[in-house]
Amino acid sequence: DGGITQSPKYLFRKEGQNVTLSCEQNLNHDAMYWYRQDPGQGLRLIYYSQIVNDFQKGDIAEGYSVSREKKESFPLTVTSAQKNPTAFYLCASTAGQGGYNEQFFGPGTRLTVL
Amino acid sequence: GQSLEQPSEVTAVEGAIVQINCTYQTSGFYGLSWYQQHDGGAPTFLSYNALDGLEETGRFSSFLSRSDSYGYLLLQELQMKDSASYFCAVKTGANNLFFGTGTRLTVIP
For residue B26, the model assigns a pLDDT of: 87
Average pLDDT value for residue range A8-29: 93
User: Cβ neighbours of residue B79 under 8 Å, at least 6 residues apart?
Assistant: B14, B107
Name the minimum distance, in Å, from the CA of A17 to any CA of chain B.
Answer: 25
For residue A5, the model assigns a pLDDT of: 96
Nearest one of B78, B89, B85, B8 to B48, comparing CA atoms: B89
For residue B105, the model assigns a pLDDT of: 98
Q: Where does residue B53 rank: exposed (0-12), middle (13-18), buried (19+ CB within 10 A)?
A: exposed
CB contact under 8 A, A102 and B100: no
Upper half-sphere CA count for residue A46 (Cβ side, 13 Å):
28
Residue A104 near residue A3, CB atoms below 8 Å: yes
| Mean residue pLDDT across chain B | 94
State pLDDT tens for residues B36-74: 999 989 999 999 999 999 999 899 999 999 999 999 999
Residue A74 near residue A106, CB atoms below 8 Å: no
* Chain B residues touching residue A41 (CB < 8 angstroms): 101-102
Residue B27 sits at the chain A interface (C-beta within 8 Å)? no
d(CA B109, CA B55): 28
User: B34 to chain A: nearest residue by CA?
Assistant: A102
Model confidence at B108: pLDDT above 70? yes
* Chain B residues touching residue A101 (CB < 8 angstroms): 31, 33, 48, 50, 91
For residue A97, the model assigns a pLDDT of: 58
